[in-house]
Amino acid sequence: MDYKTLFRFPEGIEGEDYITATYYLETPLDLHRAADALAAEQSTGTWRRVGYETDEVRKKHACRVIGVYPIPREVTGAALPTGVDLADFFPDTQEAPTRFNSGILRIAFPHINFGPRLANLLSAVAGNLYEMGAFTAIKLLDLEFPQSYLDGFQGPKLGIKGTREILGVYDRPLIGAIIKPCVGLSPESLAELAYQGARGGLDFIKDDELIANPEYNPLEERVKRVMEALDKAERETGEKTMYAFNITDRADEVLRLHDIVYENGGNAVMLNFVTAGFPVLRMLAEHTKLPIHCHRDFFPSITRSPYVGMTTEVFTKLSRLAGADQLHCGAIQGKLYESDDEVLINVRTCIQDFSNIGASLPVISGGQWAGKVPVNLRKIGHNDFILLSGAGVYAHPDGAEAGARSVRQALDATLQGIRLEEYAKDHDELRRAIEGFGKVKY
């Protein structure tokens, strides 16, 4: 069922004033009663009406229940732990329920309550409702934004277009790598690994999310060393490489670290934006002169459970609102938890029309190597993404330069419609990658 087509605002209510949230819910309560409780809890009300909750306040500020759609399936237990005695909700029997109702709720939130502020938006649509003891499963499935709300956001400043302009690459996917090992490298050693990757043909390299500005590898020195190495590689190959330096830190430090990268010749920054927070990403996006590569560590704690949190689609929309230029979307045929279909939803959400909010460049990462290039191109179906390898480059049997070259060779072969095993007969780096890493995925 397409719940969006069933959506109607109550008569006299202007849709531009509301953000619409869609939830999956399990509860022993009647679904309509549960929907009313959610709407009250997340706007004007609490468990009992208070004196200043006037009809006038409700008309302007209360959430609206605009759809309740039961799912006819049997749920016989609470998916989430609860300290509430569920029997309290059934005073006639004093017995805990043995069956639970499940369904889809559509709730309209008046954005006058929180304005164009992502922290406050999340407090409304994904805040205390997760704590409700009688909600034994609740997941935010989607958010729909009116133009009046989107007008309050800038979105990505550089995105796909800006990234490609810096690199001068327009007609193919971008290939990249994550420096490995993740931590423990000196600036000199890390720069050497970046040089080897760039020599092998990488368009993009990034810090691992575990390194930012440690004493043993301070950011300013790392930027200088890495950019010197990449400039050397560019003189030798004629190709530019982008490097994303991790500037994750306290909110009051992030802009200063961005400026260190920019002033020392860096051409991209990276933010662990889930742990830093959407408001920090937005602050950085409105300040930046460089593309922001958004790494999503901690994200699965919010999205992975089917019973709580939010979907990856919601997360991707919020990331675009906040200003993600490049956004991790998961791994096609990789090592992460999402199915390929879920990854493709993330990719699509990065680039689909979002009114005045520009597209984010999708990033595929997690267990990638040369042999995963064909399946990525086939399933994604277009060229606007970055394919990131870690060990797929830096654990290549013949070293990082050969590892980078193997991925580039795989891309060249795939774009020409040649099977990798055939192309590898005349390209040693690709042949050695296949020997070292396993079966090619088509």
Q: What is the pLDDT of residues 323-332, one digit of tens each?
A: 999 999 999 9
Same domain, 59 and 35: yes
Domain end among 133, 150, 167: 150
- Is 96 within the bounds of a domain? yes
Q: What is the pLDDT of residues 271-284, one digit of tens each?
A: 999 999 999 999 99
Average pLDDT over residues 218-247: 98
Same domain, 125 and 208: no
Average pLDDT over residues 226-239: 98
Question: Looking at per-residue confidence, does 284 or 81 come out higher?
Answer: 284
Q: What is the pLDDT of residues 151-171, one digit of tens each?
A: 999 999 999 999 999 999 999
Question: Looking at per-residue confidence, does 136 or 56 come out higher?
Answer: 136
Beta carbons within 8 Å of 442's beta carbon, 6+ residues apart? 374, 375, 378, 419
Same domain, 124 and 264: no
pLDDT of residue 12: 53
295 is catalytic: yes
Domain end among 150, 181, 201: 150
Same domain, 165 and 109: no
Residue 406 has pLDDT above 90, yes or no: yes
Same domain, 43 and 130: yes
Average pLDDT over residues 212-241: 97
How far from 40 is each of 13, 18, 59, 78, 144, CA to CA, in Å? Answer: 17, 15, 12, 23, 20
Same domain, 221 and 268: yes
232 is catalytic: no
CATH number for the domain including 13?
3.30.70.150
pLDDT of residue 83: 80
Average pLDDT over residues 303-323: 96
Domain end among 150, 174, 198: 150
pLDDT of residue 11: 55
pLDDT of residue 99: 81
Pair 278, 289: CB distance under 8 Å: no
- Is 442 within the bounds of a domain? no
352 token code pair: 């689909």
Residue 96 has pLDDT above 90, yes or no: no
Same domain, 238 and 381: yes
Q: How many CB atoms lie within 10 A of CB 110?
A: 20
pLDDT of residue 383: 97
How far from 153 is each of 141, 215, 234, CA to CA, in Å? Answer: 22, 36, 36
How far from 390 is each of 146, 181, 369, CA to CA, in Å? Answer: 40, 9, 8
Q: What is the pLDDT of residues 319-375, one digit of tens each?
A: 999 999 999 999 999 999 999 999 999 999 999 999 999 999 999 999 999 999 999
Same domain, 249 and 331: yes
3-state secondary structure of 152: coil
Same domain, 67 and 184: no
pLDDT of residue 1: 44
Residue 122 has pLDDT above 90, yes or no: yes
- Which position among 111, 139, 157, 295 bears the catalytic label? 295
Q: What is the pLDDT of residues 6-55, one digit of tens each?
A: 455 555 556 789 999 999 999 999 999 999 999 988 887 665 666 656 66
Same domain, 193 and 224: yes
How far from 127 is each of 143, 297, 404, 427, CA to CA, in Å? Answer: 14, 21, 44, 54
Same domain, 27 and 169: no
Q: How many CB atoms lie within 10 A of CB 425?
A: 9
pLDDT band at 253 (very low <50, low <70, confident <90, very high): very high
pLDDT of residue 224: 98
- Is 420 within the bounds of a domain? yes
3-state secondary structure of 251: helix
Name the helix (H) or strand (E) containing 95: none
Same domain, 347 and 261: yes
pLDDT band at 104 (very low <50, low <70, confident <90, very high): very high
Tell me what percent of the residues of the chain surpass a pLDDT of 70.
Answer: 91
Residue 381 has pLDDT above 70, yes or no: yes
Count up the domains in the chain and report the number.
Answer: 2
CA distance 282 to 341: 28
- Which position among 180, 224, 232, 379 bears the catalytic label? 180
CATH number for the domain including 401?
3.20.20.110
Beta carbons within 8 Å of 89's beta carbon, 6+ residues apart? 28, 29, 97, 134
Tell me what percent of the residues of the chain surpass a pLDDT of 90.
Answer: 83
218 is in which domain, residue-wise?
159-437
